[in-house]
Chain A
Amino acid sequence: MKRLIADTLVIAERNLVRLPRSPDLLLAFTVQPIMFVLLFVYVFGGAISTPGYSYTDFLIPGIIVQNIAFGGFVTAIGLNEDLHKGLIDRFRSLPMARPAVLAGRTSADVVTNLLSAIILVVTGLIIGFSFGTGIGEILAGFLLLLFFGYAFSWVFAWLGLIVSSPESANSVGFIAVFPLTFISSAFVPVESMPAGLQWFAEINPFTIVVDAMRALWLGAPAGDNVWGAVAWTVVIILIFAPLAVHRYRRAAGR
């Protein structure tokens, strides 16, 4: 166990050290989320009615959840590159704890996710977002966000190990996650969707997590959403972490 933690930290450090040296990746964490917030608020915002809240207040918790889910992309693409360049072979030939490569990756994502969440919140505050709750709930919101992002990093870790190239990690991930985040309460009220989509949106874990975030940051009625969101996050980790580790153990290089 001690070995697992030490090795995980070494790998996490590796992934954080290399980050500032990949400018395109850094751009994806910083400029891209800001761009999306501005586009949504100023392009769609006027056309979408969100009873009880301004669109900016409505949007920020939603878009942050979407953004955090996509944070795991770095893991998918990075792992796939490591696989093809033979680094996974090197790691697997070392006497290190086997889950550490994946645990290190996903832990590094937590740091980058926090960075982009802060950037998004600051952008939101500048264009008129305001928290409707106390500091405790705000911090709980951040924790939930990072926890959910961590779960999605495991989904992407698994994805990165099963696809054939970094490019396909990118497109498969995009095709799978993009509709999931859009058919949810993240950008529009669920009630405005056609019946079939509404049914899906209501059971979509993204809706539950987004609604939980609105409860924690805006003071929206929470219902069971916060605990529901935590439960979903735990379930996602319980499914995808073992899948990813299993896949890693038999990962054939290149």
Chain B
Amino acid sequence: MQQSAASEASGGPAPERVSRATRVDGSRIEGAAISATGLTKHFGDVKALDGVDIEVPTGSVLGLLGPNGAGKTTAVRVLTTLLKPDSGSATVAGLDILGQSSRLRENIGLAGQYAAVDENLTGTENLTMVGRLYGMDRAAAKRRSAELLERFDLSEAAGRPAGTYSGGMRRRLDLAAALVARPPVIFLDEPTTGLDPRSRLGLWETIEDLVDEGTTVLLTTQYLDEADRLADRIAVIDHGRVIADGTPDELKDMVGGERLEVTLSEPGHAERAVALLAPMSEDAPVIEDGSVKLTVRRRRGAIVEAVQRLQAEEIGIDDLGLRRPTLDEVFLTLTGHAAEVDEEGEGQE
């Protein structure tokens, strides 16, 4: 049910969103904001990247989704020039990761899962330092940091060392640092890992605002709901390869249609209900936790049809709902294993 609005918006950015296709020096980015072909990177025997192709149009958000060790962080490190690939090529903001790396670095912002801020420096000092390292003079860097602190709701904490910040505040400061130079492309490596739900929601809203301004975002995440909410397209990555690529809705369609769940007033009627509902589905309905579940072919009219079929034999219904498959189910179908969250790990990346 919760899906109805989102499915209409699928297939591309919302219409009111602008797309920013200019670099910091005002020159135009021709083609995609991020484009990678056949990237490979080995660490000893481990193939962290095993031929990765990525294409992110300007102004859109790509979610790189996968479990720990899938190669997400390595992909980000290669695209942000922190790591050289063994083979393959890539451009970011139209600039080559190998040949034009210093110009490329002027046009990207990176915020990482470890919230790279100096804990001994205040919020203002952190952002001013980053601004000056982007080549701004002291006054301009100060102005820009005040602007960002205001925008990220950190003005009150601006004079306090970042070590005293909460986890959510630190992530916001980290994100602000990535935006100091107003880069057209930003990379967010697991931006909400380890955050409490409220801070997570806050950070999502911040990222959405950013996207509305036309910034191209590549986001890695192991949270399926995060990719679902923020990304226009999702590339599912596992063992260093992109194993599926599409809009969240396209990926969900890959595992089949909508799920209808019917909770009966009398669990004893379950067998009868299965027989009555069976014609609506290609597979046999299943009984789980006292509910009857089935995959329906068509969304339209499915609820009405189910109610009519059950009422014909006066089987009472407590609750019924239609829902789309979750990305968890998508992941399981695609990889054959669950998108388990392993809090340790990430060592090889």
Contact = CB atoms under 8 A, between A and B. Distances in A.
Interface of A: 3, 6-7, 10, 13-14, 17-18, 21-22, 85-87, 89-96, 252-254
B132 A10 contact: yes
B110 A252 contact: no
A94 B108 CA distance: 8
Classify the secondary structure of A's interface with B: helix
A17 B135 CA distance: 20
B80 A87 contact: no
A95 B135 contact: yes
B110 A93 contact: yes
A6 B133 CA distance: 8
A245 to B, nearest CB: 16
A86 B102 contact: no
B154 interface: no
A28 to B, nearest CB: 15
Interface residues of B, number: 30
Given A89-B112, A95-B105, A18 B133 contact: no
B90 interface: no
B243 interface: no
Given A93-B80, A253-B82, A14 B112 contact: no
A94 B116 contact: no
Interface stretch (B118-126, B208-216, B259-267): B118-126
B133 A17 contact: no
A92 B108 CA distance: 12
Given A93-B82, A252-B83, A253-B82, A86 B121 contact: no
Contacts of B83: 252
Interface string B51-91: 00000000000000000000000000100111100000000
Contacts of A7: 132-133
26 contacts: A3-B135, A7-B132, A7-B133, A10-B132, A10-B133, A14-B118, A21-B120, A22-B120, A85-B114, A86-B114, A87-B117, A87-B118, A89-B77, A89-B82, A90-B130, A92-B82, A93-B82, A93-B108, A94-B130, A94-B133, A94-B134, A95-B103, A95-B134, A96-B133, A253-B112, A253-B114
A93 B105 contact: yes
B116 A90 contact: yes
A138 B95 CA distance: 54
**Interface-central residue, A3, A7, A85, by most chain B CB under 10 Å:** A85
B120 A86 contact: no
B116 A87 contact: yes
B108 A18 contact: no
Given A10-B133, A86-B114, A86-B115, A95 B106 contact: yes
Contacts of A6: 132
A254 B114 CA distance: 9
Question: Across chains A and B, which 7 residue pairs bring their CB atoms closest together, nearest first?
Answer: A18-B120, A86-B116, A86-B114, A90-B116, A95-B105, A93-B110, A95-B106
Nearest to B128: A10
Contacts of A95: 102-103, 105-106, 133-135
B294 interface: no
B110 A89 contact: yes
B161 interface: yes
Nearest to A94: B133
B129 interface: yes
Query: Which of A13, A21, A89, A93 gathers the greatest number of chain B CB atoms within 10 Å?
Result: A93
B177 interface: yes
A17 B102 contact: no
B130 to A, nearest CB: 7
Given A14-B118, A96-B133, 18 more contacts: A3-B135, A7-B132, A10-B133, A14-B121, A14-B129, A17-B120, A17-B121, A85-B114, A86-B113, A87-B117, A87-B118, A89-B112, A90-B177, A92-B82, A95-B133, A252-B83, A253-B82, A253-B112
